[in-house]
Amino acid sequence: MLITGGAGFIGSALARRLVDAGYDVAVMDVLHPQVHSRNSTVDLPSAVRFFTGDVTHAPDWDAVLRLIQPSQIVHLAAETGTAQSLSEATRHGSVNVVGTTQLLDALSRAEHVPEQFVLASSRAVYGEGAWESDGHIFYPPPRSHAQLLAGIWDPKGPTGKAAEPISSSAGRTEPRPTNVYASTKLAQEHILTAWAAAHDSNVSVLRLQNVYGPGQSLTNSYTGIVALFARMSRRRLPLEVYEDGRILRDFVFIDDVVDALFAAVRRPATLTRRVDIGSGVPTTIHELAAMTAALCGAPDPTVVGKFRDGDVRAARCDIAPATTELDWRPKWFLEDGLRALLNWIDGRPEIADSASLVDS
């Protein structure tokens, strides 16, 4: 078993779970400073074979595959950050797209075909997703800068009437990326499924919603809105809520994500499968801010009307297919997950207090 990006937030937690279950686990990670601070240590079980390597560098892949021939590869290595990808498109394309093709070319050189690839994809591939208005389902275009500047947050239906977002489902919702990061994640899906089909391998694609919890990097400014709100509330700082506070997200706890990835490993796909992994409960950004502030005794959050270009209005998913296909279901409620995250941050005050702020 090989986990790319396995020293990161999700990868290290998954490695622990796999080792506990008796799997032979290897990890390849470049230890990028945006994720791993200068003084941080790699938090992996001693049984894990760790390889420092860059997924975009062919010799690194060749060195790893000379030593191991993994039956499955969990592909987590990726550049993240929706806003960051708009100004660092080459970096995202290089790691997410070229890094994936380098993996496949290295497998060809090694004459090795894994039984399965498990790809951690993203809810971002849906873009604005599907909406419903007056009984009609439609796909709104990305929100323009002028639209956001005018405070027009929700898309209108084809007839100009109000619309409501529909939960995304890999089996029915069309992917329509609205930023470079999302486009590269969708490209990863296509590249892996094409190669696997030609080599009699299989792919499990797990489109993850907003993952949070203990183990997140607190020094990475692109680590997510939950960690940002937790760090600020812990310091009793007021929280600013963007747009009108009604941005919608599905926040899923790290343990539930690891359970889903583990389930995909344990039950390899026989055909390409795509499922959505979230809590199944949509939450507004204002609700998240208010809950976090209340847990810390911080001031009530303020809706400020600011916005980020490239951000989508609503992201929520249908987890029913995942519960059926993976025999998995989330166990963590948001408030319980926030408490666990805050307790973990309390044990690292020097990192939390110095961490910079944020992309969601």
Asked whether residue 295 carries a pLDDT value surpassing 90, the answer given is yes
Compute the distance between CA of residue 282 and CA of residue 89 in angstroms, rounded to an integer.
29
pLDDT tens profile 65-85: 999 999 999 999 998 766 666
For 93-157, the three-class secondary structure string (H helix, E strand, C coil) is: HHHHHHHHHHHHHHHHHHCCCCCEEEEEEEHHHHCCCCEEECCEEECCCCCCHHHHHCCCCCCCC
pLDDT tens profile 237-291: 999 999 999 999 999 999 999 999 999 999 999 999 999 999 999 999 999 999 9
Confidence bin at 358 (pLDDT 50/70/90): very low
Compute the distance between CA of residue 332 and CA of residue 260 in angstroms, rounded to an integer.
13
Compute the distance between CA of residue 180 and CA of residue 211 in angstroms, rounded to an integer.
20
Confidence bin at 359 (pLDDT 50/70/90): very low
> Residue 2: enclosing H or E segment and its boundaries?
strand 2-4
Mean pLDDT of the chain: 92
Compute the distance between CA of residue 76 and CA of residue 257 in angstroms, rounded to an integer.
12
The β-bridge relationship of strands 282-284 and 248-253 is: antiparallel
Residue-level pLDDT at 247: 97
Residue-level pLDDT at 88: 73
Q: Which CATH architecture describes the domain 2-354?
A: 3-Layer(aba) Sandwich (3.40)
Q: Which two tokens stand for residue 127?
A: 């873009």
> Residue 169: enclosing H or E segment and its boundaries?
none
Task: Tell me the domain boundaries of the chain.
Answer: 2-354
Compute the distance between CA of residue 360 and CA of residue 356 in angstroms, rounded to an integer.
13
Assess contact for 66 and 38: CB atoms under 8 A.
no
The β-bridge relationship of strands 49-52 and 2-4 is: unpaired
Least confident of 59-68, 84-93, 277-286, 319-328: 84-93
pTM of the complete model: 0.93
Asked whether residue 225 carries a pLDDT value surpassing 50, the answer given is yes
Confidence bin at 31 (pLDDT 50/70/90): confident
User: Catalytic positions, please?
Assistant: 181
Compute the distance between CA of residue 40 and CA of residue 27 in angstroms, rounded to an integer.
17
- For the chain, the straight-line distance linking the first and the last C-alpha, in angstroms and rounded, comes to 31
